[in-house]
Structure 1
């Protein structure tokens, strides 16, 4: 299992908005792009998915941009990754979709895969956007640059 740039950058976009929400002022795509060193074009594509999922809303006008629709402590890393990447599954038979493997009920390794997958999902669910903001602040970093 590997988290793509879509998942990582989606999380970075939300983190950037959370970090710089001084007075609930909207964050412009240009500001996020400059701070995160991600192209504006790519952010524009990713922010559509974040908006559809209800993480951000757009504010129009000269001082417009994007703001969070929920508090950082109410947004889990698992939620963000699953919006950007799809269901987190280390092997196909651990996803909830039926009919993926006709041997699922007979497979001796399926239980192991399911347990490992649940632990990974639980680990992602245990972190919130607020936790990432606090980690950023406690590190005293000036540029957000992290990998998950």
Structure 2
């Protein structure tokens, strides 16, 4: 499974928003500047996150974005699914009886694919935004600038 820039940049942007918002909206310009992400691209990502109920937009001169839920209620899985869609690296029709896989009754590989899919989903669902913000603080940096070098 390989995540696109939507997932990678969107997660970085949401961590940034969580770090800097408090009770005040954070502007696209400030997030984009700290994270070295194009404002235009970031607007697209925020629209997807808003559609899924993860962020709210505040209009006006001091407007921007705030989290729509508490940090502890937002999982990495929520963010990645909002931006990427399904995280299952393998789509196997044998796992869904309605898809009519002819080999479903005799194919054991479907169990491999199911375990891989379940593992990935469980891992990202267990990680919460509040944990990532705390980890970022422990790392001694209040922003994630420079992470573009590690392809994040």
* TM-score (norm: length of structure 2): 0.88
Q: Displacement, 1:100?
A: 7.5
Where in structure 2 are the equivalents of 1:27-106 lying within 5 Å?
A: 27-93=26-92, 98-99=98-99, 101-106=101-106
Where in structure 2 are the equivalents of 1:16-31 lying within 5 Å?
A: 16-22=16-22, 24-31=23-30
CA RMSD in angstroms comes to 2.1
SS in structure 1 of the partner of residue 26 of structure 2: coil
Structure 2: tracts of 5 or more residues without a match: none
Q: Distance in 1 between matches of 2:74 and 2:80?
A: 11
Partner of 1:126: 126
Please identify runs of 4+ aligned residues in structure 1 that moved more than 2 A. 94-98, 100-106, 145-148
SS in structure 1 of the partner of residue 135 of structure 2: helix
Alignment size in residue pairs: 147
SS in structure 2 of the partner of residue 7 of structure 1: helix
Render the CA deviation track for 1:48-82: whole Å, top value 9, x for unaligned. Answer: 10010001111111100000010111000111111
Q: Distance in 2 between matches of 1:69 and 1:97?
A: 36
* TM-score (norm: length of structure 1): 0.90
Partner of 1:108: 108
